[in-house]
Amino acid sequence: MAIVEPRTTERAPEPQRHWLVEWLTTTDHKRIGILYLGNSFAFFFVAGLFALLMRTELAAPGRQLVTTNGYNQLFTLHGTLMIFLFILPVLVGFGNYLIPLQIGALDMAFPRINALSFWLLPVGGLTILSGLLARGGAAAAGWTSYAPVSEQGGAGQDLWIVGLVVVGTASILSGVNFIVTILRLRAPGMTMTRLPVFVWSMLATSLLMVLATPVLTAGLLMLFADRRLGAFFFNPTHGGDVLLWQHVFWFFGHPEVYMLILGAWGVVSEILPVFSGRPLFGYPGVILAFVLITALSFSVWAHHMFVTGQVEYPFFSATTELISIPTGVLFFNWLATLWRGRLRFEPPMLFALGFIALFLIGGVDGVWMASPSMDFAIHDTYWVVAHIHYVLFGGTVFGVMAASYYWFPKITGRLLSRKLGQWHFWLMFLGFNLTFFPMHELGLRGMPRRVADYLPDAGWSFLNQLATAGSFLIAVSLLVFLVNVVLTLRRPPDAPPDPWEGNTLEWATTSPPPVHNFDRLPEVRSNRPVRDGREQEVAR
């Protein structure tokens, strides 16, 4: 007697090929999504290891572990890999897996371009990392690689440039793919005003990827021409302009930070309604906020350059304050969604709530720095390090963890352990605040970022010890996550199609979904089609 699961019978007609060939040549958006997630988390662990090395170096005054140049390489690689090879690709990975499911499509608009844009990522990432093998080591000019520092340095810097051009190309291609998919492949009834919030957030992200990434590519090519062809773009001795790099970089760089956060906002806006049993408060307001932020993100870049004294302070200060208004609107939407809801504190919800608390702190930090006079005091200090981590770690990474716990059963057919998830959350929440909250104070006390050493009598030792202890707590929490994933994957799949009572279409198919995504597509009459279906069942 054999028990045949419906899933396996559906897969049967495919020609039998080695599983490795299947994965290397796949154009299925779900498999590519999984490849994206696996690749991103691999780079997350590498870049996290670099962070631990830095924190160990900073645990006490004096140099313990690395040379100053080694330290420069560590923070350059940490920032570059986290931003370009983890945070953006992990969001794009969830987008790859979920957007076709959430809009009721069979696949992405261009499946082969989709595969290409994935495979460019490990190539670009490894190119950047291969700088470690070059003479003089990897790139050491920081993730922002300001000229003229980035005009110097060895082959590591060139590999950094080439790697980023490759990664940028991947990002432009996936942006094009997402936009066409979302505009053209929606199921009947799935109008733009019924699009899940996560899909909207990825549409905004894609627009930024398409319009801002080429600006970085152009800047990188100028830098490469300066370094290898003998051009003078950033060299004032022959008529170039050294500030030009900062303008070009941040004209890309500020939309970039919104690429890194919009997807997480989308995730949280999906999860909060599900676990509070309420509709998202003010769906049109959330969408409008996304759109306004996307548009405004192109007008704020020079707030990174206040201390150059070469920018228009009132304009860039005002636009920066302005962009905090739609961001503030999002907070009210989230809080109003929770208001009088029946909250279920499952791991995805814990991370989503943690996101709200931590991103709020990061956001308020940002409003402070929008004031030029304030910025003069804290520019290039640990305050900035605190801010960026509250936004990108407390914000996006907590959002990514929420997404991981939320969609893990859909992707693998298995629910992650609730208990280990709670441990993961509390350890990470505690470790995160222990690491990064003291950095505000360190910044106010004048500790500069990007230094490998500090004096024993500077008064920074204790806070640095706290931060180092916290960083190891974060590492422990991530080990708990890893153990949870490994243990769960060893169990047989048992997740129902809709374990959380979700709203969106991905919960209307099996966990994991069949190759063709849906056996039967439910009717879409609102932006919560699966919930509508449940209510009809109850009514009958």
Partner 1 sequence: MNTVELTRDERAVRQTSGPVLGMVIFVASEAMFFATFFGAYFTIYSVNPVWPPAGFPRLEPGLATVLTVVLVASSVTLQVGVRAIRRDRTRAMLVWLGLTILLGAGFLGLQLYDYSLLGFGVRDGIFGSLFYVMTGLHMAHVFGGVVFLVLVLAQGLGGQLTHAHHDSMEAGSIYWHFVDLVWICLFITFYVVGLS
Positions in the binding site for partner 1 (CB under 8 A) = 109-110, 172, 175-177, 179-180, 183-186, 188-189, 191-194, 210-215, 217-219, 221-222, 225-226, 229-233, 235, 238-241, 244, 247-248, 251
Q: Cβ 478 to partner 1, closest distance in Å?
A: 35
Query: Which residue lies nearer to partner 1 by CB, 216 or 293?
Result: 216
Q: How far is the CB of 117 from partner 1 (least distance, A)?
A: 12
CB of 301 to partner 1, least distance (A): 12
CA distance 234 to 274: 51
Residue 220, both tokens? 């990188």
Alpha-carbon distance of 259 to 87, in angstroms, equals 9
* Contact assessment for residue 269 and residue 528, using Cβ atoms and an 8 Å cutoff: no
User: Whose Cβ is closer to partner 1: residue 22's or residue 241's?
Assistant: 241
In the complex, minimum distance from the CB of residue 215 to partner 1, in angstroms, rounded to a whole number: 5
Distance in Å, CB of 282 to partner 1, minimum: 18
Residue 152 beta carbon to partner 1: minimum distance, rounded to whole angstroms: 18
**Residue 435: CB minimum distance to partner 1, A:** 36
Strand pairing partners for 138?
Answer: 156
Q: How far is the CB of 496 from partner 1 (least distance, A)?
A: 31
- Min. distance of Cβ 245 from partner 1 in angstroms? 10
3-state secondary structure of 502: coil
CB-based contact 362:394 (threshold 8 Å)? yes
Is-contact 261 205, C-beta < 8 A?
Answer: no
Measured in whole angstroms, the distance separating CA 253 from the mean position of its chain's CA atoms is 14
Return the closest-CA partner of residue 442 out of 376, 381, 393, 364.
Answer: 381
Q: Is 103 exposed, middle or buried (0-12, 13-18, 19+ CB in 10 A)?
A: buried
Q: Which lies closer to partner 1 via its Cβ, residue 207 or residue 428?
A: 207
- Tally of CA atoms within 13 A in the half-sphere of 124 that contains its CB: 25
Count of helices and strands (H, E) across the chain:
18, 0
Residue (185 or 367) nearer to partner 1, CB: 185
> What is the amino acid identity at position 54?
M
Closest to partner 1 by CB, 494 or 523: 523
Give the nearer residue to partner 1 in terms of CB position, either 234 or 393. 234
Q: How far is the CB of 229 from partner 1 (least distance, A)?
A: 5
Q: Which two tokens stand for residue 91?
A: 């969001």
Q: Which is nearer to partner 1, 183 or 377 (CB)?
A: 183
- Residue 314 contacts by C-beta under 8 Å, 6 or more apart in sequence? none
- Evaluated on CA atoms 209, 214, 219, 224, the torsion sign reads positive
Q: Residue 270: which of 218, 182, 185, 334 has the closest Cα? A: 334
How many Cα atoms are found within 13 Å in the side-chain-facing hemisphere of 223?
32
Cα separation, 443 vs 386, in Å, equals: 8
Closest C-alpha among 421, 400, 447, 349 to residue 43? 400
* Closest to partner 1 by CB, 214 or 533: 214
Shortest gap between Cβ of 174 and partner 1 (angstroms)? 12
Nearer to partner 1, 29 or 194 (CB): 194
Two tokens, residue 366: 């940002």
Q: Which is nearer to partner 1, 77 or 287 (CB)?
A: 287
Q: 244 and 233 in contact (C-beta within 8 Å)?
A: yes
Q: Measured from the CB atom, is 152 or 193 closer to partner 1?
A: 193
